[in-house]
Amino acid sequence: MQQTRQRHRVVLLPLPLQGHINPMLQLANILHSHGFSITIILHTSFPSPNPSNYPHFTFLSFPDGLSQSEASTTDLLSLILLLNLRCINPFRDCLVRLISDAEEEDPVACLISDAILHFAGPVADCRKLSRLVLRTGGVSSYAAFAAFPTLFEKGYFPVQDSRLEEPISELPPLRVKDLPVIKTSNFDSYYQFLTDMVRQNKASSGLIFNSFEELEQPALATLCPDFHIPIFPIGPFHRYFPASSSSLLTHDETSIPWLKTQAPKSVLYVSIGSIAAMDEKEFLEAAWGLANSKQPFLWVVRPGSVRGRKWLESLPNGFIEMLGGRGHIVNWAPQQDVLAHPAVGAFWTHNGWNSTLESICEGVPMICMPRFTDQLVNARYVSHVWGVGVQLENGLERGDIERAIRGLMVEKEGKEIRERMLHLKEKVNLCVMQGGSSHESLQRLISHISSF
């Protein structure tokens, strides 16, 4: 612990969604372990992590101006637009109070805000507070977001069904169908949001990524000439602080005991993260694909993730009994512990960035089923650049699913993928060690914050 820095307070503003809160709190832990005091700013209308898991942090909340129904919408784009509009004034008031209260004994060094909450940029600038940005997703998908104006000029948007397989020469190896878009009737708003986000991120004092150089060097090289600010790829964050105590949902306690009853590398872990959903037909195809594969599986079915249904009621009568204990279905799992368990042999994922990175860290090969935005880019990189997974390219169909599972986990064809994944896992272990690329970037980040 470096006492001289103890008086530097870092204020962190996460986007109030699970996939963003986890890495922001992990980053807060990393900075705290290097002597910084930490304040986390939470939104009042959203579920928040349990502050008692973080007695070493100060938590503040501000009224974000969203109603409960606005905050719980499943329309991600409208949620993000609303947050960037409504939070400006209340966040400014919160920041003014915080700076003046802290000034005497514990001055604020800087704000670190989620890249998506770009409204925080001008607010911090007005208070003359240095601001860094945390992009919780990968660098490759961010490079694709940053290229939207060029792609727009070249006529790729709005995406046309007839061009889905076309390669994008400006962003190899992406095809049109891998572009990080979201289903919306309001593409103009999405485009405007992304260009505002990238502009405000570029105007910050530095951009932090939960990624590492060895994984995303080409994307980092693409970004650097265009971003005249320091870039800090210091991930994977959870390598520094493995236990995740920032879950917004209660972790099921039967997952690990069940895994203990299974053979090494035999279990397929299945999860589509904290936001994505599927319709009933897709859910049933997934269920039959899993059952027919004959592999044991641990399946997270988040309540509400099957559209129009509460939980498992769409499964045919007798389905679970038919599995004879080969399948275990839970609401929400302790994912990092699950992926680290020796019984887990593969991960069928939506490729949210945290899930992708957590899988890489544990050397678990993936079956990719991206749903929207950065997930589409991540899946393409997993399957075609890093070669550590296969992608379900044609929607959800039980025969394809069964073949993908057996191909990856049992058949010879999956052997090379499994080996590449173990090789990549070794690189992760090295990058966070003394002299490793992320370790070095973290030292740069600490000096940078200490210079404010």
Q: How far is CA 356 from the centre of its chain?
A: 8
Q: Does 25 bind ligand UDX (CB under 6 A)?
A: no
How far is it, in rounded angstroms, from Cα 310 to Cα 304?
A: 5
Question: Nearest distance from residue 391's CB to ligand UDX, in Å?
Answer: 15
128, 200 Cβ separation under 8 angstroms: no
Write the CA distances from 293 to 237, 282, 285, 418, 442, integer angstroms: 34, 16, 12, 18, 43
Question: Nearest distance from residue 393's CB to ligand UDX, in Å?
Answer: 19
374, 353 Cβ separation under 8 angstroms: yes
Instruction: Tell how strand 108-114 and strand 131-135 pair up.
Output: parallel
38, 276, 278, 301: which one binds ligand UDX (CB under 6 A): 276
Q: Considering beta carbons, is residue 201 or 335 the nearer one to ligand UDX?
A: 335
**Looking at 119-127, 223-231, 348-356, 385-393, which segment touches ligand UDX (CB under 6 A)?**
348-356
CA dihedral 450, 29, 197, 277 (to 10 degrees): 170
Q: Considering beta carbons, is residue 18 or 204 the nearer one to ligand UDX?
A: 18
113, 133 Cβ separation under 8 angstroms: yes
The binding track of 191-230 with respect to ligand UDX, each residue x by CB under 6 A or -, is ----------------------------------------
29, 262, 373, 391: which one binds ligand UDX (CB under 6 A): 373
**Looking at 149-157, 349-357, 390-398, 434-442, which segment touches ligand UDX (CB under 6 A)?**
349-357
Question: Nearest distance from residue 373's CB to ligand UDX, in Å?
Answer: 5
**Looking at 30-38, 109-117, 149-157, 268-276, which segment touches ligand UDX (CB under 6 A)?**
268-276
Q: Does 354 bind ligand UDX (CB under 6 A)?
A: yes
- Length, in residues, of the chain: 452
Q: Three-class SS of residue 421?
A: helix
SS3 percent helix, strand, coil of the chain, rounded to 5, is 45, 15, 40
Q: Does 14 bind ligand UDX (CB under 6 A)?
A: no
Question: Nearest distance from residue 438's CB to ligand UDX, in Å?
Answer: 18
> What DSSP designation does 251 have?
P
Q: Which residues contact 217 (CB under 8 A, 6 or more apart)?
A: none
Question: Nearest distance from residue 249's CB to ligand UDX, in Å?
Answer: 7
**Looking at 169-177, 184-192, 223-231, 273-281, which segment touches ligand UDX (CB under 6 A)?**
273-281
Q: Considering beta carbons, is residue 123 or 338 the nearer one to ligand UDX?
A: 338
389, 268 Cβ separation under 8 angstroms: no
- Tell me, what amino acid is at 326? R
Write the CA distances from 269 to 64, 87, 243, 256, 308, integer angstroms: 36, 37, 19, 12, 24
* Long-range Cβ contact pairs of 87-92 (< 8 A, separation 24 or more): 87/43, 87/62, 87/117, 87/119, 87/120, 88/119, 88/122, 88/123, 89/65, 90/62, 90/63, 90/64, 90/65, 91/13, 91/41, 91/62, 91/64, 91/119, 91/120, 91/123, 92/123, 92/126, 92/127
Q: Does 375 bind ligand UDX (CB under 6 A)?
A: yes
Q: Considering beta carbons, is residue 295 or 373 the nearer one to ligand UDX?
A: 373
12, 94 Cβ separation under 8 angstroms: no
14, 65, 236, 273: which one binds ligand UDX (CB under 6 A): 273
Q: Does 352 bind ligand UDX (CB under 6 A)?
A: yes
39, 210, 247, 305: which one binds ligand UDX (CB under 6 A): 247
Q: Which residues contact 412 (CB under 8 A, 6 or more apart)?
A: none
The binding track of 294-333 with respect to ligand UDX, each residue x by CB under 6 A or -, is ------x-------------------------------xx
Q: Does 22 bind ligand UDX (CB under 6 A)?
A: yes
Q: Three-class SS of residue 203?
A: coil
**Looking at 18-26, 122-130, 280-288, 396-404, which segment touches ligand UDX (CB under 6 A)?**
18-26
> What DSSP designation does 385 have?
I
Question: Nearest distance from residue 371's CB to ligand UDX, in Å?
Answer: 7
Nearest CA-CA partner of 166 in 158, 153, 151, 178: 178
Q: Does 358 bind ligand UDX (CB under 6 A)?
A: yes
Q: Considering beta carbons, is residue 375 or 383 the nearer one to ligand UDX?
A: 375
Total chain residues near ligand UDX (CB under 6 A): 26
Q: Considering beta carbons, is residue 193 or 332 the nearer one to ligand UDX?
A: 332
Question: Nearest distance from residue 182's CB to ligand UDX, in Å?
Answer: 10
Interface residues with ligand UDX (CB under 6 A) are 18-20, 22, 136-137, 244, 247, 271, 273-276, 300, 332-333, 335-336, 352-355, 358, 373-375
